[in-house]
Structure 1
Amino acid sequence: MAALSAPTRFGYSLGSFTTGAFGTVPGLLLLPYLTDTMAVPGAVAGVIVLVPKAWDVVFNPFAGRLSDASLQRRGSRRAFLLGGGLGVAVLFAAIFAHPGFGKVALDAAYVVLAFLLCATAFAFFQVPYNALPAEITDSYDERTKLTSWRIGLLAVAILISGGVAPAITTGIGGVAGYRLMGIAMGLVILLGTIGVYLGTRGAPVGSRRPTTAGWRDLLATMREWRSFRWLLGVYFVQSLGLGTLLAGVSYAARYVFGDAGLQTGLFVGFVGPALVMMPVWPRIGARWGKLWGFRAACIAFGVGSLGLLATRVLPLPVAFCFVALAGVGYAGIQVFPLAILPDLISAEEERTGATRAGVTAGVWTASETLGLALGPGLFGLVLSAGGYVSSVDSSAAQPGSAVTAILIGFSLLPGILVLLGIPLLRRSVLEKNAVPAEGARSD
């Protein structure tokens, strides 16, 4: 298949504004929104963040089957992208609307319901979005390029949402700040949805195959598909680490770095280097193979994250060097799994003669969703273990044990979890079934 045009790559990548805002802001601000405006205890807030995501783990594979069926009937998944994205935009604003019922339990229940509905809508967007690369090109190297464009715009989306959202909440303060932030991020999601829907109008679509006959056939495929299971395991563990890091940024800025206004600076320091590295990691993958690039990215993130353990005794510029190094690694651990996945899907569809992209994307996004959801839950447990004091106005004084817990959850846990991907990769056969383009080096 010929190389994709630049407008197609760019149009597809615009969907990253939807995935970036939804994936970043709740992980960054939902936990402090609950603990510091609704007085929800840390452990309970962690569970609230987890419940809607746990639903997605069950629902996403179903969304994948529906997406595959839509592809077979209509020849396109774009209707799912549009409907799901519009729903996410509206419901995202609803999450942070803060109904003010006057009772912690009722306010928290409202957040759970709004987040549950939003996560369901997001499944209808993200599943077909992740399935598209396997269908719009069959080129080994072209998929890496497409992924790098996508992750490049994802870095921009994270930079915007992760920088602007905390700036709005801290600048305005209180419930009003969260409400305005929810509306602003809903507009970002809306623009991303419309952009990818219009931008993929002329994208090529691969040959349509029959959908998987039933869940028994799907489970049999997953049992035999060892390379996918290993990649999925790596991505889940690392998503858990990233979810823990995101949940800790707001707390780390206030209680470790000592300045709530540094939330935006931390994000710029993390995502800026990631953005610079987006075109570099694909070249590393082309030169030494995707797996070696993946391993190098894990090491960079791990070293940067673990270095932040010394934040309280390091000069601020040195601490930000470790933040930047973690950002460099972050770029790679986003690019390489998503570049490997469509190779595995294509090989499996050739082997079985059936459409696997939608269902596989559903399982993939379920794993990612669970990891990113368990991250804030894990961080909430760490907060509780450290004796963190919840409040309704972020004014409660915190004991030293709570500050230590924040530091551990923000640096040590993410570093360890991402580095766990290295032994998993060593035992995997991620590219065994993929056929690289002529001249490309595989592992």
Structure 2
Amino acid sequence: MAITGQAAPLPTKVCIGWGLGTLGPVTVLTATNVVLLRYLTDYVGIAAAVGASLIAFSKVFDAFIDPALGALSDRTKSRWGRRRPYLILGSALLSVAVIAIFSVPDFADVQLRVIYVGAILLFYAVAYSLFTIPYLSMPAEMTDSYHERSRLMSWRVYAVGLSQIVASVLGPMLLGTLGGGEGAYFWMAMVFVPIILGSAWIAFAATRDAPFTEPAAHVHYPFAVLVRSVAANRPFLVLIMVKFLTLMSLGVQAVFAFFFAHVLKLSDSALGTYFLFSSLALIASQPLWLWLLRRTGDKKQVYMIALAVGIPAFLSWFAAAPGDPAVLMYLRAVIIGISGGGAILMGQSLLPDTMEYDYRRTGLRREGIFSGIYTTVEKLAGAIGVAFVGAMLSASGYVAGRGGDTAQPESAIQAIYLIMGILPATISTLGIVGLLFYNLTEARLKATSSAIGLGATS
């Protein structure tokens, strides 16, 4: 049965189950953001600029196919709905990809290693999108309530926090326990596989009776029509501009492993402990951000506050040095986790609002296309972020190796400091400025309902 949405609260088990679906993909995404570049440079023996370029190229490649994958999910007809079959398919392919990424064959020729890594990263990018695009399209169909979407998304943020614990805490701790060699990365990936498959099946089962929509009779839109439609959706354009800026931080996360190893002189286990504090703070902050949203009624305002909270903590990394009290490092982790919890929640909550705005303006259900464009921006932002890290490290004279303990010049250390402190603070500031132009309030969204089917462009 096709349902166009409902204002009644979604059952909690549906919200929890759908939210848990992101556990596997975000675990892999976080792990690759945090440890992949260092794995490629320090253990596979690929130069930092080359490794970063491979990661960036895979994201750019994926970005170009994401809108097409979104349109594919819009057109899909099955007994399980338009989106849910892709949860299973995407998770299966993603499981294969994560194992292949962290088990690079020991080719004597470094060029063969580069080719292998490039090919696997392309496969991983497609697998990730096959899951994520249909998954992010589901909230706009599951409820038409402005605030219910924030509640639904809060469960996804809880799962994101758990994912960060698994990838950024358990992952580095496993690496430290297993000796930190190439084999340790393989076993870390093997631990991730049942998490990927299990979380996808939970989301698939939990959303069995959730509201959904059937594909329209004609859902093929000429490219020019799509461009005009997206261009007329100003809230969506502003949102993806802001997300482009803030999602660059995902790529910049690659510097954490370098900062802890070469600046703070700490182990992978210490890096895991840092992310444990950050992830727990992200999870624990959700009631705070939902309370603030209820008090203000303005997602944009709460989003701006969340971004502002993290700026002092980012800048404080310039004062960090080997031997600092652990409490300072963990205090930064907590503040950054709280900031990230609010930013993720509000950013994700605004996305289905802009999708509904398109539906109310045009009468067309195109959530997959908008999710595809959104993830395109996500990939491009991550590509630029990680490429910037790699380029900065190479330009500063960072020395790649095969053992993980290669001494680094002072110029490389200074570059790591700059990336760790200045870049995320600048990104957050620009994101706040961009949000000043976002104008889709709850009242405006409801008022747009009279334009359904009339082709309104306001």
Q: TM-score, normalised by structure 2?
A: 0.91
Q: Does the CA contact (< 8 Å) of 2:74 and 2:215 recur in 1?
A: no
Q: Does the CA contact (< 8 Å) of 1:297 and 1:333 recur in 2?
A: yes
Instruction: Give the Cα separation in 2 of the matches to 1:28 and 1:243.
Output: 8
Instruction: Give the Cα separation in 1 of the matches to 2:105 and 2:369.
Output: 36
Instruction: Give the Cα separation in 1 of the matches to 2:446 and 2:287.
Output: 23
Indicate the residue corresponding to 2:225 in structure 1: 217
Instruction: Give the Cα separation in 1 of the matches to 2:240 and 2:441.
Output: 13
The one of 428, 436, 446 equivalent to 1:435 is 446
Offset from partner CA, 1:47-78 (integer Å, 9 cap, x none)? 01111111111011000000000159974311
Partner amino acid for 2:43? T
The one of 6, 9, 15 equivalent to 2:15 is 9
Q: Does the CA contact (< 8 Å) of 1:305 and 1:414 recur in 2?
A: yes
User: Alpha-carbon deviation of 1:212?
Assistant: 4.8
User: Alpha-carbon deviation of 1:187?
Assistant: 2.4
User: Alpha-carbon deviation of 1:410?
Assistant: 1.9
Offset from partner CA, 1:82-136 (integer Å, 9 cap, x none)? 1111111111111111111112111121111111111101111000100000001
Percent identity between matched residues is 28
Q: How does 1:31-50 map to 2 (within 5 A)?
A: 31-50=37-56
The one of 255, 266, 273 equivalent to 1:248 is 255
Check if 1:355 corresponds to 2:362: no
Indicate the residue corresponding to 1:304 in structure 2: 313
The one of 166, 177, 193 equivalent to 2:172 is 166
SS at match of 2:164: helix
User: Alpha-carbon deviation of 1:386?
Assistant: 2.0
1:371 to 1:435, Cα distance in 2 relative to 1, 3 A = same
Listed as ranges, the gaps of 5+ residues in structure 2 are 1-5, 448-458
Instruction: Give the Cα separation in 1 of the matches to 2:90 and 2:78.
Output: 19
Indicate the residue corresponding to 2:183 in structure 1: 176
Partner amino acid for 1:50? A
1:208 to 1:78, Cα distance in 2 relative to 1, 3 A = same
1:411 to 1:398, Cα distance in 2 relative to 1, 3 A = same
User: Alpha-carbon deviation of 1:428?
Assistant: 2.5
User: Alpha-carbon deviation of 1:255?
Assistant: 1.7
Q: TM-score, normalised by structure 1?
A: 0.94
Partner amino acid for 1:162? S
SS at match of 1:279: helix
1:291 to 1:71, Cα distance in 2 relative to 1, 3 A = farther
Q: Judge which range, 365-374 or 31-40, deviates more.
A: 365-374
Partner amino acid for 1:125? F
Indicate the residue corresponding to 1:392 in structure 2: 402
User: Alpha-carbon deviation of 1:142?
Assistant: 0.5
User: Alpha-carbon deviation of 1:19?
Assistant: 2.6
Indicate the residue corresponding to 1:285 in structure 2: 293
1:79 to 1:207, Cα distance in 2 relative to 1, 3 A = closer
User: Alpha-carbon deviation of 1:411?
Assistant: 2.3
Q: Does the CA contact (< 8 Å) of 1:230 and 1:430 recur in 2?
A: no
Indicate the residue corresponding to 1:373 in structure 2: 383
Q: Does the CA contact (< 8 Å) of 1:159 and 1:271 recur in 2?
A: yes
Q: Does the CA contact (< 8 Å) of 1:136 and 1:205 recur in 2?
A: yes
Instruction: Give the Cα separation in 1 of the matches to 2:132 and 2:176.
Output: 30
Q: Does the CA contact (< 8 Å) of 1:17 and 1:189 recur in 2?
A: yes
Q: Does the CA contact (< 8 Å) of 2:75 and 2:219 recur in 1?
A: yes
Check if 1:91 corresponds to 2:97: yes
SS at match of 1:427: coil
Check if 1:239 corresponds to 2:250: no
User: Alpha-carbon deviation of 1:25?
Assistant: 0.7
Partner amino acid for 2:412? A
Aligned residues: 436
The one of 325, 339, 348 equivalent to 1:329 is 339
RMSD: 1.9
Partner amino acid for 1:177? A
User: Alpha-carbon deviation of 1:271?
Assistant: 1.3
Instruction: Give the Cα separation in 2 of the matches to 1:248 and 1:130.
Output: 28
Instruction: Give the Cα separation in 2 of the matches to 1:397 and 1:131.
Output: 46
Instruction: Give the Cα separation in 2 of the matches to 1:28 and 1:84.
Output: 22
